[in-house]
Every structure is written in C-alpha cells, then in structure tokens.
Amino acid sequence: MPSVNNHLDKVGKGFADFLTPPLEHVIRFTVGQPDFPTPDSIKSKVVEALDAGKTTYTRTGGSPELCKSVSRFLNERFSITVDWENIVVTPGCKQAILYALMGLGNPGEEVLLLAPAWPTYDAQISLLGMTPVHVPCTTPDFHPDFDALEKAITEKTKFILINSPNNPTGAVYTPDEVVAIVDLAIRHDLWILDDMIYATMGWTEHPYVSPATIPGGAERTITIGGWSKSWAMTGWRLGFCAGPPAAAKALHLCQTSAATHVPTFTMDAAAFALFADDDRMPMHNAFKERREVIFTELSNIPQLKVRKPEGAFYIIIDIEGTGMDDKTFARRALEEADVQLIPASLMPGGEGFCRISYATNIPNIIEGCKRLREWLERVC
C-alpha cells in the first residue's frame, strides 16, 4: 500500500476530543462560533446574486468590487493601506493562513507562535514540513515575552505568527508591543503573519493595532482576516489575506492552484457585510455585555483565578486552585457538572488553564458558571 504524508504523525487533533456535541442539557462553553444567525440583509445579497446568475468563474483573488471593499475596510477601520490587487479572498481565514505559509515558507523553516496558540497553526506548519516554535507568553496576562522571543530565534526562523485579539487567551497586544514585534521582525528579517480575525472585538482602551501600520511593517506583514466571527458567517468560509506585491503574487498562485476562488454568488454579500454596521453592532454589543457577565460570575468561584478578557469572546481560567490538571478538570466538569470546556494544555503553553467561549447567551453563561461553582464546592 502506498504511504501517506510523513508529516501527519506530527499533527495533533486540536480540540476534537473536547468538541463532541454534548447532550442537550449540557452547557457548552467550547465552540468559537457566534450564536447569532447571519443577518438577513447579508443573506439577501446571496439571493440577489443567484437570481442574477452570478454562478460562473471569476477572478481568482475575488471580484474587483469585493477586493476594493476589503481594501477600503482595512484602511478606514484599521489604517492599513493595501492595494486591492494585493488582496486574495479565500475559503476561510484558515485557508488564508495556509496560503501564507505555503507561499512564503519552505520545509525546514521555523515559525514562532506565542503560546498558547490556536492549534490549527501548529497543524498547518507541521503539514508543510516546517517547525512550530512555541514561545510562552507572560502570565497572567498572556502578552508577548520579548526576551523569550529573542532567545527562540535561530537561523531557520522565517515567520512570527500573531493573533490579537487572541484565541484562546482573550489578550489584545498593546501598540508598544506591536511596535516591538515589528522591530523584532525587521532585525531578524521575518515575515509577520497577522491573524486579525477578531480585530473588531476589542474591549480595552487600546484597540487592535496592525503591524502593517508601523514603520517598516507593511513590507513584511501578511494581514489575515475574515467574516466568520464579526458577522456570524462561520459556515460561509470567507477569509482574506493581503500583503506587499511579491507576497500577494505568491498568495494568488496558491489560490489558483488550490481553490480557484470562493463561490461567486457570495462575493456581493461579503462586500456588503463589511460596512453593515447596523447589523454587526448588536452582536458586538451582546458580546461586550457577556464579557462583563462571565467575568463577574467566574470571579465568584474561589477555586478559580480569572482575568477580564481584553478581546475576542474567550476567557481563560487558572484552575490550579482546584488541585486538578486541566484535562481532568474539563473531563470532570463535563461528567459531574454538565459543563463542556476546553483544557488549554491541548495547546503548548496552556497547561493549568482552561478556555471558555462566551459565544452563548447570558442565561447559559449564568447557569454554566452556577454549575461550576456548585460542583467545585462539592469536590474541593
């Protein structure tokens, strides 16, 4: 029998073991997906496109109208300047990350990850024959540790991949930290892969800052984003990547070879969504309120230590005070408290913590925290 890819044995299962849909009575704090439907105004644009016969091949990177909308959105919202021709609209943000690694990296090279990091990064890097290098963040705030980053760099280091606002930690890097990341990349001639999928979901005084807006950053930054989180469009699989011309050419080539383009009939809807703030803001404000509720509720559980998340819709809890490791905590929480959550040791650097997604309604948040509190009162 022919062999399979010899890098597969380096690829973990991510969160799979803890994402199995539980019984209906279980409070699910695991899924990083908005619990809102896609707004009707966005869906109607797909119907209009289908009725207009927009079902044929089009430009690989996305229609000019869509790419111009992405360019305008990045500029008006985040002060990122990128020509529309240097944007590729991809089948999801995950695919955009893969294209950036494929198009700009080579087997044997290393990618710095700020640990704990979303496990898909690790898997994609390993599948491509590169090496993920997990650099622990500072605790308890999970911001970059620049001394550790410096020490982790070798002659094989090609990328630093950042995600702010962050999954799983909820951290939002400060403007000074982003400047320092760009400085590090310039001094060591690294690409910066900036996964800004949660960029509209910052809850602190310092918002998301793009490394592409820092002097020296634009020519080495690949900006990666999408529609899944802010517009409740996870199943649409729409993302984008943008960068300097030479990089954009490589990204276009990856898309041409792998996917041709995203479905033509989704493009008008995607362009419309970027500026549909009347539809986005109710979801945004709901997540902001949920952040307050879950922080208050978890703070009232004495066995847990918790910091208020700075962005996205995740909160990370320190479970050391329970006397359990994080996998045991997650398993027993499901079996004994009917609450499903993610043990952070599934990501290197997350040992001793669990990740909670508050992408669920406030009654569920209150009930889930109540169950955890009553369970820990019984067992600790």
Give residue-wise pLDDT tens across range 141-196. 999 999 999 999 999 999 999 999 999 999 999 999 999 999 999 999 999 999 99
**Structure tokens belonging to residue 373:** 């509190």
Euclidean distance between CA atoms 61 and 255, whole angstroms: 7
At residue 20, the pLDDT reads 83
Identity (one letter) of the amino acid at 363?
P
3-state SS, residue 350? coil
At residue 239, the pLDDT reads 98
Euclidean distance between CA atoms 238 and 229, whole angstroms: 11
At residue 336, the pLDDT reads 97
Euclidean distance between CA atoms 291 and 165, whole angstroms: 14
Enter the CATH code of domain 8-38+278-379: 3.90.1150.10
Euclidean distance between CA atoms 143 and 84, whole angstroms: 32
At residue 18, the pLDDT reads 82
At residue 375, the pLDDT reads 98
At residue 7, the pLDDT reads 77
The number of residues making up the chain comes to 380
3-state SS, residue 252? helix
At residue 315, the pLDDT reads 98
Q: Which residue has the tokens 């499903």?
A: 340
**Kind and range of the H or E run holding 35:** none
Euclidean distance between CA atoms 205 and 358, whole angstroms: 21
At residue 23, the pLDDT reads 85
Q: Which residues of the chain have pLDDT under 70?
A: 13
Task: Enumerate residues 6+ apart whose C-beta is below 8 A from 207.
Answer: 172
Euclidean distance between CA atoms 68 and 35, whole angstroms: 29
Is the domain spanning 44-276 CATH 3.40.640.10? The answer is yes
Of 80, 82, 93, 65, the closest CA to residue 272 belongs to: 65
At residue 52, the pLDDT reads 97
173 touches 142 (CB < 8 A): no
Task: Enumerate residues 6+ apart whose C-beta is below 8 A from 366.
Answer: 293, 297
Task: Enumerate residues 6+ apart whose C-beta is below 8 A from 135.
Answer: 112, 113, 114, 115, 145, 148, 149, 152
At residue 1, the pLDDT reads 84
Q: Where are the beta strands (DSSP E) in the chain?
A: 27-28, 87-90, 110-115, 131-136, 157-163, 191-195, 221-226, 239-242, 305-306, 314-318, 339-340, 342-343, 353-357
At residue 186, the pLDDT reads 98
Task: Give the start-to-end residue ranges of the domains of the chain.
Answer: 8-38+278-379, 44-276
214 touches 245 (CB < 8 A): no
Euclidean distance between CA atoms 164 and 143, whole angstroms: 10
**Structure tokens belonging to residue 216:** 């020296």
Q: Which residue has the tokens 């700020």?
A: 114
Beta-bridge mates of residue 223: 194, 242
At residue 22, the pLDDT reads 84
Task: Enumerate residues 6+ apart whose C-beta is below 8 A from 238.
Answer: 89, 90, 91, 92, 226, 227, 228, 262, 266, 270
